[in-house]
Structure formats: C-alpha cells, structure tokens
Amino acid sequence: MSGNRWAFLAVACAALVLSLSTWFSATAVMPELVARWSLGPSEAAWLTNGVQAGFVIGALASSVLGLPDRLHPNRLMAGAAALAGASTLILLLEPGPAAAIAARLVTGIALAGVYPPAIRLMATWFLRGRGLALGCLIGALTLGSALPHLVRGVGEVLDWRLVIAAAGLFSLTAAPIFGLALRDGPHPFGRAGRVDLRQTLSILRNRPVMAANLGYFGHMWELYAMWGWFLAWARAASEAGLGLGNLSLLTFAVLAAGAPGCVLGGLLSDRIGRCRTTALALGVSGCCALAIGLAWSGPAWLLVGLALLWGLAVVADSAQFSAAVTELSPPHLVGSALAFQMGVGFALTIFTIWALPLLAGIIGWRWVFLALVPGPFLGAWSMLALRRMPEAAGMAHGMR
C-alpha cells in the first residue's frame, strides 16, 4: 500500500501540471493580446484576475454546498479539468475582451473543482509524510502555472494561439487521468451529509483553523501578484537598461523554482513542524519582496539570483497551510474547510493583482513589490501564534 500511495501521488502531480497550465495561459501571452485586442490596463489585469475571481466563486460555493465532502473527488476533478480546458480554448476564437474575461472566469470556477479536491484526495493516502506529499502536489501546481511561460519562451516566434491551444489541450488530457486513475486512499475523511450552513460557520469558529487560514491569507497577499506581474516587472527592468535576456524563460525559471521549494517545504514541515516551516518561508519571501527593488540597477546576476530565491520561497509554504487544515479540521469537513481557505485566500489575490499595475503607474515598477511585504510578515506572526495553541500538537505528529 505504501508503494501505491507514491504512484498515486505521481499520477496526481502529472494531472495537476497539465490542468493548472490553464491558469496563466493568457498572462503568458499578454503583450500579444494587449496589442491585438487593444486592451487597456484594467482589461489586461482582468484577463488574469478573471481566473482568480472564478476560483473564489467556485471555491466558496463548493465550501458552502460541501461539494468536496459529498462528491467523489476524482469525478469532480475530471469534469472540472475538462471544463477548464474547454473554456481556455474559447480564447482561440478571439471573442473580444468581455467574452474573453468571462471565459477566464469559467476557467477559475473549474479550477476550484481541481485544486482543493486534489489536496483532500491525496491527504487520504498519507498520514505520515503528508507535508511532503502535499508539497509535491503544490509543486505540480507551480510547474503547471509556469508552463505557459516556458512554451512562450521556447517559441518566442510562434503564434500566441499555440500557447493557448497547448494549455487547453493539456487540461483536456488531464480529465481522464483524474477520472480513471485516481481514487480515495486507505485513510478517508468520511463524507458530509446534507448541506448545512452551520457546518461552514463552525469553520469560522475554529480558532486553530482560522489561525492557519490567516497565515495562508498573508501568503496569498503576496504569491499571485508576484507570479502575475513578475514578467511585466522584469520587462520594465530590462527596458531601464538591465539586460535580462529571454524574459519569458526568466519568468518560467522564477515561477518554476517554487516546485523544488514546495518539496523542500514539505520535507522541513514533516521534520520541524508546519508552523516553523511556514514562518521561515514567509520571512525569507517577505525579505525578498523588500530587497528586489534594490537589485533593479544590477548587476543582472544579483537580480536573477534574488528573483530565483524569491520564486523558491514564495510558494514553499503553500501546501503546509492546507496540511494544517486537514489536521485541525473535523474529518467530515476537511474538503469544505480547504475550499473555504482557498476561496478567501484567492479573493485577496484579486485586489493585489488589480492594484499592482495601478500602483506601478504612480511610483513606477521598481518599488511596486513593496506593497506585498505586509502579507508574509502578518502570516508568519499568525503561524507562530498557532504554534502556541494546544491544538497545534495535532499537526505533523506533534511537531506543530
């Protein structure tokens, strides 16, 4: 059985890489879409934010309705991956800004049926090593999110449609993998009964869960705004005189650095505890957000090195907030608690993704990431506060 769980984890990670490639597919070709569709700054931001908003709608609706705890997760994920692929391919029709944003909204709703259920499903396979397992899953999400930048960077002369088509087809390929190759593990959480709003309210009253959630919210304040706007920030730095080469490949490398970061975070979390690991990653990430503007003037190796460290640290803790929720929540509410955590967390990303380019128009791109600094430090404070709670002994087999 222990061998089976690693095989299931590998399959789940592969399917997540494929399906999550839809997330930043439009962002990776944003310059072409801005020029071709005559997009303003707000419309361009909403091509990224539409996915975030859709994810929030889908995740919060799933939490309220208890869908992750009432439906078979593999079937839910299969249908959601197919919908994410189809809604991404709609962009190939060039339907205009409003319809394109609506399609991205649907993509986000669909991805809310992939990501939280995947976390819940794989947690049923791992009691020990759960931090590492979920770290691998979030590493797969990170690679999937970065993948369009790789496609773009390798084929800079290729038509933008190929990036969109690749992402959509990848997600359609993931659907049967989710549906046919995955199932619950030997440690199921149990299924919720009928919809009961009091169960959702109980999540809000659970002090340890909400402390973990606050840590996650601080993490999310920073993460997707950095992921979403690093390409634009690097382009501005390059135009200011710092030669950075292929910016799409650089952006891919920075985002993809988070994949080994997630695995490292999982290993640390199972050995020194969820709270210490998340506080460490948040501290490093927050310091990178503080310092990255200082490297704007070069040398290039310093900026690239700092950006890669930031890319590694900014998502290294992400899975451990989810792991904490699976250990602190009542078993029959784990799926709903995860969906709630992610729904509110992604709602915060809508504001930061929207605000950063507006702030850049006022102060310039160089110092814009300073706006992200409060999030990780607030999150670190909350996780250290959680570590002092007696319920924290239930995490990481007592490692807190």
218-259 pLDDT, tens digit per residue, is: 999 999 999 989 999 999 999 888 878 888 899 999 999 999
Q: What is the Cα–Cα distance from 176 to 97, expressed in whole angstroms? A: 31
- Give residue 361's Cα distance to chain centre: 26
> Could you tell me if 338 and 261 are in contact, meaning their C-beta atoms sit under 8 angstroms apart?
no
> Could you tell me if 38 and 173 are in contact, meaning their C-beta atoms sit under 8 angstroms apart?
no
Q: What is the Cα–Cα distance from 114 to 324, expressed in whole angstroms? A: 19
Q: Spell out the alpha helix ranges (H) of the chain.
A: 2-20, 25-28, 30-37, 41-65, 67-70, 73-89, 97-111, 115-123, 130-154, 160-181, 197-205, 207-239, 247-256, 258-272, 274-291, 300-314, 318-328, 334-363, 374-387
Q: What is the reported pLDDT for 197?
A: 57
Would you state the structure tokens that stand for residue 362, as one six-digit string? Answer: 């006022």
Picking from 262, 385, 241, the residue whose alpha carbon sits closest to that of residue 314 is: 262
Q: What is the Cα–Cα distance from 140 to 128, expressed in whole angstroms? A: 20
Higher-pLDDT residue of 217, 148: 217
Main-chain phi, psi angles of 297, to 5 degrees: -85, 0
Q: What is the Cα–Cα distance from 212 to 379, expressed in whole angstroms? A: 9
Q: What is the Cα–Cα distance from 228 to 222, expressed in whole angstroms? A: 10
Q: What is the reported pLDDT for 63?
A: 74
The yes/no answer on whether domain 2-183+194-398 falls in CATH 1.10.1040.10 is no
> Could you tell me if 224 and 274 are in contact, meaning their C-beta atoms sit under 8 angstroms apart?
no
- CA distances (Å), 23 to each of 146, 195, 321, 398, in order? 9, 30, 21, 36
pLDDT band at 193 (very low <50, low <70, confident <90, very high): very low
Q: What is the Cα–Cα distance from 148 to 248, expressed in whole angstroms? A: 9
Burial class (CB within 10 angstroms; exposed 0-12, middle 13-18, buried 19+) of 151? buried
Is the pLDDT at 198 greater than 70, yes or no?
no
Q: What is the Cα–Cα distance from 284 to 303, expressed in whole angstroms? A: 16
Q: What is the Cα–Cα distance from 172 to 284, expressed in whole angstroms? A: 37
> Could you tell me if 324 and 216 are in contact, meaning their C-beta atoms sit under 8 angstroms apart?
no
Would you state the structure tokens that stand for residue 232, as one six-digit string? Answer: 């634009």
Give 307-350 pLDDT, tens digit per residue.
Answer: 999 999 999 999 899 889 888 888 777 777 887 888 888 889 88
Q: 204-219 in b/e burial notation, b at 16+ Cβ within 10 A?
A: eebebbbbbbbbbbbb
Would you state the structure tokens that stand for residue 10, as one six-digit string? Answer: 């590998």
Q: What is the Cα–Cα distance from 142 to 20, expressed in whole angstroms? A: 8
Burial class (CB within 10 angstroms; exposed 0-12, middle 13-18, buried 19+) of 272? middle
Is the pLDDT at 131 greater than 90, yes or no?
no
**What is the arithmetic mean of pLDDT over 95-124?**
89
pLDDT band at 8 (very low <50, low <70, confident <90, very high): confident
> Could you tell me if 370 and 269 are in contact, meaning their C-beta atoms sit under 8 angstroms apart?
no
Picking from 173, 182, 169, 187, the residue whose alpha carbon sits closest to that of residue 124 is: 187
Q: What is the reported pLDDT for 1?
A: 45
Picking from 147, 75, 55, 35, the residue whose alpha carbon sits closest to that of residue 344 is: 55
Q: What is the Cα–Cα distance from 123 to 134, expressed in whole angstroms? A: 7
Which helix or strand (DSSP H or E) is residue 125 part of?
Answer: none
> Domain residue spans in the chain?
2-183+194-398
Is the pLDDT at 194 greater than 60, yes or no?
no
Which residues touch 47 (CB under 8 Å, ≥6 apart)?
26, 27, 30, 33, 39, 100, 101, 104
Sequence letter at residue 248: S
Q: What is the Cα–Cα distance from 228 to 313, expressed in whole angstroms? A: 16
Q: What is the Cα–Cα distance from 80 to 230, expressed in whole angstroms? A: 28
Would you state the structure tokens that stand for residue 105, as one six-digit string? Answer: 């909204």
Q: What is the Cα–Cα distance from 149 to 169, expressed in whole angstroms? A: 16
- CA distances (Å), 21 to each of 33, 151, 165, 252, 298, in order? 18, 10, 11, 12, 31
pLDDT band at 4 (very low <50, low <70, confident <90, very high): confident
Q: What is the Cα–Cα distance from 400 to 386, expressed in whole angstroms? A: 9
